[in-house]
A and B are shown apart, each in its own frame.
Chain A
Amino acid sequence: MNEKYIQITRNGLWDNNVVFVQMLALCPTLAVTSSVTNGLGMGLATTAVLVFSNMIISAVRHLVSEEVRIAVYIVLIATLVTLVDMSLNAWAHELYKVLGLFIALIVVNCAILGRAEAFASKSNVADSALDGLMMGIGFTLSLMVIGGVREVLGSGTLFANAHLLLGPAFAFLETTIVPDYKGFLLMILPPGGFMVVGLLLATKRVLDQRRAARAEQIAALTL
């Protein structure tokens, strides 16, 4: 039982990471990762929607027919996103002004439908909630890493405007890595996003291969 949860966690964070392994949700990924703060905001909003959509879809999975499931899932996800959008606008307006643009984008984030289809429609509610949470955290971390590389190279700062997203208490996160930096525009524009995603993807592959090779060596030694 415990092993299953560890497996789900590992899958979400690394082995089956939304961006770097499933290669899903690349559109919002490239669009928002010009800074760490933007990546974090998009990641958190997506995680919230992913947890709830996985739970709801898992709860109704026995009622939904195979033939119309995609339509039902999409309607449920769109409703959920609209609810998040409206409540943020009403009760957390400052946050909404920062995240507003991203929230509507979540509907078209194929990672959410992907998890509904691949996991939630076949698993119980608790497992689905954990899967949504871990996939969401994995997505958030990926966005923050991509955003971090692009922000440092592109504008020489890290966590710029964090106080807008997290409140004034987090203003200490905002650091200038390179003072008097003239900026490297390419990194902020979409091509920079593609390059960073590609390089990080290659890095992850190398790490995974090394790990596999070491595991093989150990297996050979113990034989």
Chain B
Amino acid sequence: MSLEQLRGKLSYQGLLLGGTALLTSAILAFASRATEAEIRKAEALDLKQSLAIVLPGQYDNDVTKDTVVLPSSEGDVTVYRARHAGKVDAVVYRVIGHGYAGPIVCVMGVSREGKILGVRILKHAETPGLGDKIEPAKTKWIFNFDGKFLGNPVVDLWAVKKDGGVFDQFAGATITPRAVVKAVKGGLVFFEKERSTLLDETGGKP
């Protein structure tokens, strides 16, 4: 039977589709095995770099490995701990704000005294030209948080100026900075609540 006749048969078409699917799945499985280790490595490096931005100063442990997972109002939070001579000096964790166009993922570093070391935006989908002023590449707004803690300003003033707080909003975009301020405030409240666990001062208990 020629190929021409064979192609018209239903069984051939079924086998062709099945064969294609099988072959491509096999190729993808091999490719996935081949690239998995490299992708893990690259992602670990990404994480390390994003941690380093909000962790100024010296620490002597592998921050990416020294983690503790705690429940919070936004789901489980993975906290990375930076130590100096065994003592936790600072912690880094993600907080999520609810912006104008979906979640704004921020990473914040907090010192053991509860002071903000730095806040950065990892991912957002805010309006370009308006809401994206939260990116350090666009404006310096995000540095306003450096050195702040609950008490400076006092809890009630942790809001944008339009809401009676101390943080600037942007012309034409209030929702974005409001979301970030709220998320960072939430992060500090979380720090106060879980302080002893975060700083590993529970005497070995989890």
By a beta-carbon cutoff of 8 Å, the part of chain A in contact with chain B is 34, 62-68, 71-72, 75-76, 78-79, 82-83, 86-87, 89-91, 93, 96-97, 154-155, 183, 185, 188-189
Contacts and interface: CB of A to CB of B under 8 A. Distances in A.
Nearest to B10: A67
Given A86-B35, A90-B39, 14 more contacts: A63-B16, A65-B7, A65-B13, A76-B24, A83-B28, A86-B32, A86-B39, A90-B42, A93-B45, A93-B46, A97-B46, A155-B129, A188-B128, A189-B128
Contacts of B8: 65
B42 to A, nearest CB: 4
16 contacts: A63-B7, A63-B16, A64-B16, A65-B13, A65-B16, A68-B16, A72-B17, A83-B27, A83-B28, A86-B31, A89-B42, A91-B35, A97-B46, A185-B127, A185-B129, A189-B127
A71 B35 CA distance: 27
B60 interface: no
7 tightest A-B contacts by CB? A90-B38, A90-B35, A93-B42, A79-B24, A65-B7, A185-B129, A86-B35
A90 B35 CA distance: 6
Interface size class of B (residues with CB under 8 A): 20 to 34
With a 10 A CB-CB cut-off, give which of A34, A83, A89, A90 has the most chain B CB atoms: A90
B21 interface: yes
A79 B12 CA distance: 22
B20 interface: yes
A185 B128 contact: yes
A218 to B, nearest CB: 48
Nearest to B137: A161
Nearest to A67: B13
Contacts of B16: 63-65, 68, 72
B3 interface: yes
Nearest to A89: B39
A64 B42 CA distance: 39
Interface in B90-106: none
Nearest to A188: B128
Contacts of A68: 13, 16-17
A185 B130 contact: yes
Contact of B129 (A72, A87, A96, A188): A188
Nearest to A71: B17
A63 B13 CA distance: 10
A76 B130 CA distance: 41
A72 B20 contact: yes
B3 A82 contact: no
Contacts of B17: 68, 71-72
A87 B39 CA distance: 9
A18 to B, nearest CB: 25
A83 B20 contact: no
Given A64-B16, A72-B16, A75-B24, A89 B128 contact: no
Interface in B27-78: 27-28, 31-32, 34-35, 38-39, 42, 45-46
Contacts of A93: 39, 42, 45-46
